[in-house]
Structure 1
Amino acid sequence: MHGPVPASGPADGTANAPHSAARYRRDIDGLRALAILPVLLFHAHVPGFSGGYVGVDIFFVISGYLITGIIAREVDDGRFSLARFYERRFRRIMPALALMILIVLAGVAWFYLPGDLEGVPRSALAATLFASNLWFFTDTGYFSGGADVKPLLHTWSLAVEEQYYIGFPILLMLLARYAPRWRTGVVAAIAAASLALAIVMQRDTSGFTFYLLPTRAWELFAGALLALGAVPAIRARWLRELVAGLGLLAIALAVALYDRTTIFPGITALAPVLGAAALIHAAPDTRIGRLLGWGPLVGIGLISYSLYLWHWPLIVFTEYATDLPLAGGTRIAVIGAALLAGTLSWRLVERPFRDPRRMPARTIFLFTAAAMSLLCALALTLLAMGGWPSRFGPQVLAQMAGQKDFAPTRKQCHDIFMRNATPCTLGASVPPDAMLWGDSHGVELAYALSLDAKAQNRSLIERTTSSCPPVLGYEAKDARCAAANQTAFDAIRADPAIRRIYLAAFWANGDFDDPAFVAKLDRTIAAIRAEGRQVVLIGPVPPQPFDVPRHLAHLAQAGKLAEARGIDRAHVEARTAHLRALFARWQARGVSLIDPVAALCPTGSCAIERDGEPLYFDSHHLSTTGARWVIAAGR
């Protein structure tokens, strides 16, 4: 998962080494611009910026460099104060953040539907207390809502930074007192441990590697080591030019070539981190440094923190209101609005609060306490209102109820392999004679099949694993998929009473268009049939370009529910052409087919509701209503 990323804005000054006087470096503000712009364009779905999320790594390096320089210099001079340090942090972070959270809470209270509103106050509490990375780490799963409805998701990395700066100043103070000669070595050792953990856990799918400090700290430490003078100065001009050029190239390649399928962070984060470190260390007085000091880039760098704070909520609210991803003129308008909001926030909020003459330290601490108290009170009030359903009519609420129309067995029976639990047997209380093997798309289908099985005094086993299609030899980001699939196949071989195997997966997600994947599915089907079992392939479920219950609720709100239409059948068939090309061959070999496309898309467009009930609980998972319809049509 690649969530939004923050722009760590300018600190109170910059530093080249712990004992040097601070001097302003235009190239670092330019580097901020080269980080925030890809982030903005990535979130706005602009082609060519599929890896723009690496901006967070660049900002972590910049933050580690600037702030470590300040702390180390003051510690070495004997004038470091934790109170003064946090005063600067509050000046820098809290005013613009508090305003943004306040506007977000007002926005969601105004137009978010009940099922979507409930999670925002929780995230506002976490963001206010700089714990949102912890919240979003735990707030995962199919029912927590996607990034497209989380306007405060971007605050996770602010939380990472602030958690880092709770312990890091104290570490430098202790090292200065008890082991000054070991300072750089200790910091380097901790950085290496953090990097090693990130690499070891890079295939982790729980969100730990992405959201939490232990696997992100090394990026801040990379900048810290530069500030502590761990890397010797580069004397030769040509070598500085080369290092700076390679640093810029590393960042550019990551932005252009990485995408949502890239395993990240981990070893892949080395490119943007080392690229940023190379530019910080070598860019001054080079051609690249002069480029980074170009006026427009410096200007965007100056507003980078406010630009980051506002761009994500603007994108989320726009896509929420339109039920469509940003595109065309809407995309241009939102990017322009984000730049305007960032500029106004920088000029009217950031700058006044950062001026000690206008805002003395006592005022900053009082403001921070008051703002945090107000935001927590507002969030708790919204939370107590439970989604505030009284804002909407019964027809709107009926459509939103579709978000909870998932199998009652999902929590208990899904992902049992990952939890080392016993597979569920669904249906009548008799030995099972069938198995549904699949990914998360199979859960509601297994439940629908179990209702029929129970009526016939039969039962079936459910073996479903998230993001793991039932294909032997499938290599996924999560290495456990191969083991889960092999375990399922071994269970089939070990139990001759299991006569029928249903195969279900998110075949239409685009990841399985490769003919090599379809060939593996072909071999899996052949292997099951070689065991003398009947195979029933449940074909692709048509994915919709919007969250179905939310879209239907918006239509109901506008009095246009009769206009509900899904994706075109032709688009789904084109998207799954490699798979569908083998349907006739498989059927000729005795494989049965249940085709959701035929059930849901009898005409040009696919149905998304039936008798007023959503057929999906999100954009691509069938609701229990939809699954029962598909299974009934496939009999």
Structure 2
Amino acid sequence: MGKGAGYRADIDGLRSVAVLPVLLFHAGISGFSGGYVGVDIFFVISGFLITGIIAREIDGGRFSIVHFYERRARRILPALTVVIVAILAAAAWLYLPGDFESVPKSALAALLFVSNVGFFLETGYFQGGAETKPLLHTWSLAIEEQFYLTFPLLLILLGRHAMRWRTAVIAGIALLSFALAVATQNDGDGFAFYLLPPRAWELAVGALLALGAVPPVTARPLREALAMAGLLAIGVAVFTYDKHTIFPGMTATLPVLGAAALIHCAPRTLMGRLLSLRPLVAVGLISYSLYLWHWPLIVFTEYATDQRLAGWPRAIVVAAAFALALLSWRYVERPFRDASRVPRARLFRMAAGAMAALCAVSLAMIAAGPWPARFDPRVIAMAEAKNDVSPYRGRCHDSSSAGLPACVLGAKAPPGAVVWGDSHAVELAYVLSRIEAEQGRSLVQRTQSSCPPIAGYDPPGDPRCGKANREAIAAIRSDPRLRTVYLAAFWASPLNASDAVLAGLDRTVGLLAGEGRRVVIVGPVPPAPFEVPRRLAHLAAFGRMDEAFNPLGADTRAAAARIEAIARRWRSAGVTYIDPVAALCDGERCLLLHDGRPLYFDSHHPSLAGIRFILARQGGNPWTSPPVRR
């Protein structure tokens, strides 16, 4: 909104309240675990400002849909175009083949304002893979543009044929959207987060304020109280929400209603004066460019360094985001918003040409595929370790609540063993099945993500785990042919260090051993603080393979000691312990590579090569070969 008669400095200040938490959350600044709610504040601001403009022009008989989209093009396209060009160039130079392919697809989706749909289909906001997607944040732009594709037309129709029902219709849309958001908030598939129908109510709340659906608050003390409560509600969400919060849905009401309270009540209050302070207004003015630039800077820096932002690198990236945002606002945003400098016809020609060119470049990059010719073959070999996984992972491993049936792997014979565990047991099951097949035998794979193999373990909030464990133990106990049971999990995870997990594992081992079954516990695989294939590829690119190791952390030592203690307790019952720490580590550091083969396919899951190496060592040291621990 320009600085005309209706300009409100406090709303620019509110923009800074929206963008700063997002920036600090993405940068990993402690205390801002719920900073992602800044996007919800942006939605309310956008709904209020844009609806106010449209409604006033419709009511005054001067609304033009062409002029409306011209304003949107001036506001959105120039800075977005520059950022996409920079991202495509940086990814082409930096990204390894397996990571590069998604970038031009994301660019194409962002240009067509459907990136929210693409990311909904690909990944979750807090799930693995997001850290290599420099255009992930454009999902929110897609939400807004999809909303404004039809919303002005709806207001025009209501203005012509049902003016008296205009506010009621928008309120009805908001209620339906909110109901859908609440109904789908627990689904976990990203529908409520990424898609317009369950997000529209947030923009509609701002729209209702602009349409006068909420009576003005005239009493000064009440206005002060409501404005202060609005800022407090936003603060609670920013400082107390985290990636485990069920969001959006009911929890989104705090930032949304908080922003609405500030928009409605802040003028001529203490909160209004606070939001109108020049530093906050200045950040608000560059907030769009700051939002666009901050995330790709973080993603590319973390990708290049193979580590999360911290210390001076984090400070430099945050400073760079502000610097680029200021330059973008001064030399890209402002000139294109000035109709005297860039007339409408020229704007549309430039926008169409730039978008067509970028779409063509993106399509060409997509057609080029991973483009491995950019790198030395050894670099490619390291990077491709991310694909060194069980060919049956998709068919046999239950990574959601799909309830996949157990798989029988190996020879066509009744299974004599079962591999039971979480995602750390998947590659183990495949490698063991190849060994079993050579002997004319088979085994059963029972694996469920984030679900340790413990009879009776039913963690709150994850009913699929309890169900999977009940089915697994019942199936094992009912089949006397299953003489050997392998138990494997991400034991190095803090989630598996609780007394309940350890006591449950001990109880499960005792139950199975008491029935005369041979129990084999596979201990924790030492996790790395980086994606191993990517780190190895980077080291290969710079001729630094002598640095290809992972420091052994105290937490992993402690996890190995806990699991081995349980195995030792049941040693007399024939329980075997396979110790990946002893197999991979020399006391201070752990192997990442053996005979040119990466031993991990990500940061903590062993690759097929890694499992073969661990089993060959059977709890040994990479420089010696002690026997299996019993």
TM-score by length of 2: 0.92
Shift of 1:46: 1.2
Which shifted more, 442-451 or 416-425? 416-425
Distance 1:281 1:247 in 2: 10
Q: CA 1:355–1:427 in 2, change beyond 3 Å: closer, same or farther?
A: same
Opposite residue 604 of structure 1, the aligned amino acid is E
Distance 2:513 2:157 in 1: 67
Aligned pair 1:355/2:338, yes or no? Answer: yes
Distance 2:124 2:391 in 1: 15
Partner residue of 1:599 out of 578, 583, 586: 583
Aligned pairs (5 A) from 1:224-623: 224-415=207-398, 418-471=401-454, 472-475=456-459, 477-525=461-509, 528=512, 533-574=517-558, 582-585=566-569, 587=571, 591-623=575-607
Residue-by-residue CA offset, 1:31-73 (whole Å, 9 max, x unaligned) = 1111211111111111111111111111111111111111222
Distance 1:246 1:520 in 2: 46
- 3-state SS, counterpart of residue 261 of structure 1: coil
Shift of 1:423: 2.5
Distance 2:156 2:510 in 1: 66
Aligned residues: 617
Partner residue of 1:133 out of 101, 107, 116: 116
Q: CA 1:421–1:287 in 2, change beyond 3 Å: closer, same or farther?
A: same
Number of the residue aligned with 1:3: none
Distance 2:256 2:562 in 1: 39
Opposite residue 590 of structure 2, the aligned amino acid is C
CA contact (8 A) 2:44 2:259 kept: yes
Q: CA 1:368–1:516 in 2, change beyond 3 Å: closer, same or farther?
A: same
Which shifted more, 53-62 or 433-442? 433-442
CA contact (8 A) 1:13 1:70 kept: no
Partner residue of 2:202 out of 212, 219, 222: 219
Which shifted more, 412-421 or 601-610? 412-421
Aligned pair 1:110/2:93, yes or no? Answer: yes
Shift of 1:572: 1.6
CA contact (8 A) 1:51 1:254 kept: yes
Shift of 1:105: 0.6
Which shifted more, 306-315 or 258-267? 258-267
Q: CA 1:60–1:531 in 2, change beyond 3 Å: closer, same or farther?
A: farther
Distance 2:39 2:447 in 1: 34
Partner residue of 1:208 out of 182, 185, 191: 191
Residue-by-residue CA offset, 1:514-562 (whole Å, 9 max, x unaligned) = 3344344445555555766544332222211111111011111111112
Distance 1:225 1:255 in 2: 24
Distance 2:257 2:564 in 1: 45
Q: CA 1:630–1:360 in 2, change beyond 3 Å: closer, same or farther?
A: same
Shift of 1:419: 3.6
CA contact (8 A) 2:46 2:206 kept: yes
Distance 2:396 2:469 in 1: 16
Q: CA 1:611–1:512 in 2, change beyond 3 Å: closer, same or farther?
A: same
Q: Larger relative contact order (C-alpha < 8 A, sep ≥ 6)? A: 1
Q: CA 1:248–1:566 in 2, change beyond 3 Å: closer, same or farther?
A: same
- 3-state SS, counterpart of residue 358 of structure 1: coil
Number of the residue aligned with 2:624: none
- 3-state SS, counterpart of residue 398 of structure 2: coil
Which shifted more, 555-564 or 340-349? 555-564
Q: CA 1:492–1:183 in 2, change beyond 3 Å: closer, same or farther?
A: farther
Aligned pair 1:85/2:68, yes or no? Answer: yes
Shift of 1:282: 1.6
Number of the residue aligned with 2:154: 171
Residue-by-residue CA offset, 1:585-610 (whole Å, 9 max, x unaligned) = 35566543322222222331111111
Residue-by-residue CA offset, 1:160-211 (whole Å, 9 max, x unaligned) = 1111111222222222233322222222222222222222222222222221
Distance 2:513 2:242 in 1: 37
Q: CA 1:476–1:602 in 2, change beyond 3 Å: closer, same or farther?
A: farther
CA contact (8 A) 2:124 2:130 kept: no
Q: CA 1:599–1:46 in 2, change beyond 3 Å: closer, same or farther?
A: same
CA contact (8 A) 2:124 2:190 kept: no
- 3-state SS, counterpart of residue 566 of structure 1: strand
CA contact (8 A) 2:510 2:570 kept: no
Q: CA 1:246–1:469 in 2, change beyond 3 Å: closer, same or farther?
A: farther
- 3-state SS, counterpart of residue 215 of structure 1: coil
Aligned pair 1:23/2:23, yes or no? Answer: no
Distance 2:123 2:321 in 1: 28
Gaps of 5+ in 2: 619-627
Distance 1:398 1:151 in 2: 24
CA contact (8 A) 1:150 1:316 kept: yes
Distance 1:13 1:179 in 2: 32
Opposite residue 601 of structure 1, the aligned amino acid is C
Shift of 1:611: 1.0
Which shifted more, 210-219 or 613-622? 210-219
Shift of 1:614: 0.7
Q: CA 1:417–1:80 in 2, change beyond 3 Å: closer, same or farther?
A: closer
Gaps of 5+ in 1: 1-10, 15-21
Opposite residue 355 of structure 1, the aligned amino acid is D
Q: CA 1:83–1:469 in 2, change beyond 3 Å: closer, same or farther?
A: farther
- 3-state SS, counterpart of residue 593 of structure 1: strand
Opposite residue 306 of structure 1, the aligned amino acid is S
TM-score by length of 1: 0.92
Shift of 1:124: 0.8
CA contact (8 A) 2:492 2:559 kept: yes
Give the aligned CA root-mean-square deviation in angstroms: 2.4
